[in-house]
Chains A and B, each alone.
Chain A
Amino acid sequence: MDTSSHDVLLVGGGGAGLRAAIAVAETNPKLRIAVISKVYPMRSHTVAAEGGAAGVAKADDSLDEHCYDTISGGDWLCDQDAVEAFVREAPQELLRLEHWGCPWSREPDGHIAVRAFGGMKKKRTWFAADKTGFHILHTLFQTTLKYNEIHRYDEWFVTKVLVDDGRVQGVVAIELMSGRIQAITAKAVIICTGGCGRVFPYTTNAAIKTGDGMALVYRAGGPLKDMEFVQYHPTGLPFTGILITEAARAEGGYLINKDGYRYLQDYNLGKPEPKPVLRCMELGPRDRLSQAFVKEFEKGRTIDGPYGPIVHLDLRHLGTKLINQKLPFVRELCLKYEGLDPVKQLIPVRPVVHYMMGGISTDIDGATPLRGLFAAGECACVSINGANRLGSNSLPEILVFGARAGKVAAEYASGVPDTVSLPILRQAEDERRRLEQEFLRKTGGKERVATIREAMQKAVEDGAGIYRTERSLREAEAKLAELQERAQGLSIDDHSRTFNTELLSALELTCMLDIATTMVHSALSRTESRGAHQRTDYPARDDANFLAHSVVTRSPDGSPHIEYTPVVITRWPPGERVYGQQPTLTAAKA
């Protein structure tokens, strides 16, 4: 079997992976670095982030305030040591992007401009119009091109993480172009594969967001943390799930129900003012806004659309000039995909799955409990996002923790001998055989990939959506178990070695089924409501029992096993989440 070897291997070429690759190169230029991605790096889903990246930048702001907003936004489930490091390093990372050429929007005097964002008490969100993720990704990708030591495996799909005696030593991957299956060994592996929104039917996430990295680590015996916390973004377009950025509300957009009423005033989010008020109304956190939508639906005050109930986002009062300058992509998306002009018309929106707060459990440096294995970005859970991520914290997260993981992985790899154990090569050979037998040469299955995928998406949305109950979760659990069974009998039309995307879809489906199962089990086990995890049968937050991270690992029989670890509290003792009025900053002095 073909084998290639590197010192540090990045799995995933989005913002976190590319930032980590540069960090490795700058920590030790002698290391042989490789980035492996199932798509060309500039196709990665970082590209779709719109609104901006938070980092304290102006004189009226402070690191403590960004910490407090993040921690209260996360309903006190964030690890506060991680949040403090994140908030401290975010502005430095955003500045580094500036030095690498990111076209940040500017003030008239040439300084970086910042905008308001949901759940943030100060304006601290850097932005490149409303294509911030696009510009960050392309800036990073173009910058990596000057590092000759960064080798790329474009359009390779990783199918297994190789681990022997608790030490990760590489991966097995398939090259889409040729169908070649190969072991790629490395002293350190950093997983940066992003989220898993495609587990759900309506999502802002691209087709590639299938939770592969999380599933690979879970199968390799690594822990996943806080998997029950899934973020719904309150403003997605109804059929496509296309994201209409929170910046649309930060710039002054209103959310209105079928009566034209700004309904958020009924949900403890403050009073409607003509101009946006920080941490109020439309600038409340995403979990609260998505939950308010469900309540409006129950009251019969949403509008029926062909793809379910919707409300309206009203930007008409903002005027053509502001929309063109600050929200050009929103206008472009509405014109192209909905055939409407937000300058003159209301935008139909609904909550759609957007972000995974949970993920591969790491420490503050991106290290997992498996030696040699690191993770950063949305696939990881450090945790800075707790039970609900604030908008514009995820872009600085990929930079801060991508850089941290890259640095620490480089240091680790510099001290590990360049040998691969024999069991690793045997595992790789076994994996090649499995792929051949179960997928490439398999004939006679009866179920189409799409059939199982759609059934899974429905089961997870019905059972583990914005509101959950014991009963809904048990139904989802049973359905997923049935689908896992049926997925053994997948039919694959395509047996070609050349760019076999049906094989890819089948492999992605198995990842999503594993991830969905961990989500549902973690949600069943957490009998409280906190942030994005709302149990109607346990409506209150329960700090006595659940001020803790859920950690799910795979039992030898394949079933998920759940334990809890305490949340790290440094200076912000658990308090009430207050929006719509001036909150009191309760940090103890450092």
Chain B
Amino acid sequence: MAQTIQLKVSRYSPERDTEPYFQTYEVPVKEEWVILDALNYIKDKIDGTLTFRWSCRMGICGSCGYMVNNEPKLGCATFLTQYASGPITIEPLKNFPIVRDLVIEISDFLEKLKKVKPWLIHHGGGGSNEYLQTPDQLEEFRQHSMCINCLLCYAACPISGLDPVFIGPAALALAHRYNKDSRDQGSAERMAVLSHPEGIWGCTFVGECTRVCPKHVDPAGAIQQYKLAGAIDGIKQFLMPWGQRQENR
């Protein structure tokens, strides 16, 4: 194994640059080092201006998504040794505005998240007992509740790149997570938001989101199931008497 490896890191400062450029750093290779260890080595020893987000370095806080050799990856879970002798190219996640170096602007995602009403909607108070839920019922939505908001799926999604109003994989998967929760009664409210063309129908089922998801949330599967539910709802509405149809709008 080589003793060092080259990292080609995308640099951009809005105060100084008109567009991103690459800067190459030489860092040691250790078997247990991940991309994040290499970035921190640069930050600590070579260049304090290199800018990136990170925190838990155990794949659960969702801060450190970067494009690594043009693939969306978590910096904390991607080992240097996967890339043989390098060089490794590191860029900010695609499909987001760049703030600086590897830091992207994610407030648009936060807006979309809020739009899908990602909270439990249950008419009538909770009372002093739990809502019963069997392990099988939990299993219905468990996998869709694992999203860490790392946004790798948005970076991989061709529609997110083309259509900025598309709600996108993670937020849709989360809406689906609540719809499938046996305790929730809010799917109609959520459908009202999502049946708009920009909500859900934009997805052409490329499946890249599911492929890159580090937590196996399967947004593509969630979106397909959601579309199906939406279609059935639409048919139901069409078959209902006119008065009720109005109410359901």
Give A239 to B54 CA distance when docked, in angstroms.
17
- Stretch of A42-50, A80-88, A435-443, A529-537 that contacts chain B: A42-50
Residues of B within 8 A of A108 (CB): 134-135
Interface presence of B77 (CB below 8 A):
yes
Q: Which of A103, A240, A449, A492 contacts B57 (CB 8 A)?
A: A240
Please report whether the interface of chain B is mostly helix, strand, loop or mixed according to DSSP.
Answer: loop
Task: Determine the residue in chain A with the shortest Cβ distance to B130.
Answer: A98
A42–B149 contact, CB under 8 A? yes
Q: Which of B45, B100, B110, B128 contacts A40 (CB 8 A)?
A: B110
Interface presence of B184 (CB below 8 A):
yes
Interface presence of A499 (CB below 8 A):
yes
- Stretch of B113-121, B154-162, B217-225 that contacts chain A: B113-121
Interface bits A104-127 vs B (CB < 8 Å: 1, else 0): 111111111000000000000000
Give A207 to B40 CA distance when docked, in angstroms.
11
Interface presence of B242 (CB below 8 A):
no
Task: Determine the residue in chain A with the shortest Cβ distance to B118.
Answer: A142
Whole-angstrom distance between the Cβ of B61 and the nearest chain A Cβ: 5
Residues of A within 8 A of B126 (CB): 95-96, 98-99
Known contacts A109-B132, A111-B130, A145-B114, A499 near B51 by CB under 8 Å = yes
Interface presence of A242 (CB below 8 A):
yes
Residues of B within 8 A of A145 (CB): 113-114, 118-119
A206–B56 contact, CB under 8 A? yes
A207–B48 contact, CB under 8 A? no
Give A47 to B45 CA distance when docked, in angstroms.
29
Known contacts A111-B132, A492-B48, A498-B100, A40 near B55 by CB under 8 Å = no
Instruction: Give the A interface residue count (CB, 8 A).
Output: 60
A39–B55 contact, CB under 8 A? yes
Q: Which of A42, A105, A450, A501 contacts B138 (CB 8 A)?
A: A105
- A99-B120, A329-B60 known; 20 other A-B pairs, CB under 8 Å? A39-B55, A39-B61, A43-B56, A43-B61, A95-B129, A98-B130, A99-B131, A101-B178, A103-B145, A110-B132, A111-B132, A145-B113, A177-B99, A206-B56, A206-B57, A336-B59, A448-B44, A449-B44, A449-B48, A492-B48
| 25 residue pairs from A and B, CB less than 8 Å apart | A39-B55, A39-B61, A42-B148, A43-B61, A43-B63, A47-B61, A100-B119, A101-B119, A101-B181, A103-B142, A110-B132, A131-B146, A134-B60, A145-B114, A145-B118, A154-B107, A207-B55, A208-B55, A240-B58, A448-B48, A491-B48, A493-B48, A494-B51, A501-B52, A502-B48
List A residues at the B interface (Cβ < 8 Å): 39-40, 42-45, 47-48, 95-96, 98-101, 103-112, 131, 134-135, 138, 142-143, 145-146, 154, 177, 206-208, 239-240, 242-243, 329, 332-333, 336-337, 448-450, 491-494, 496-502
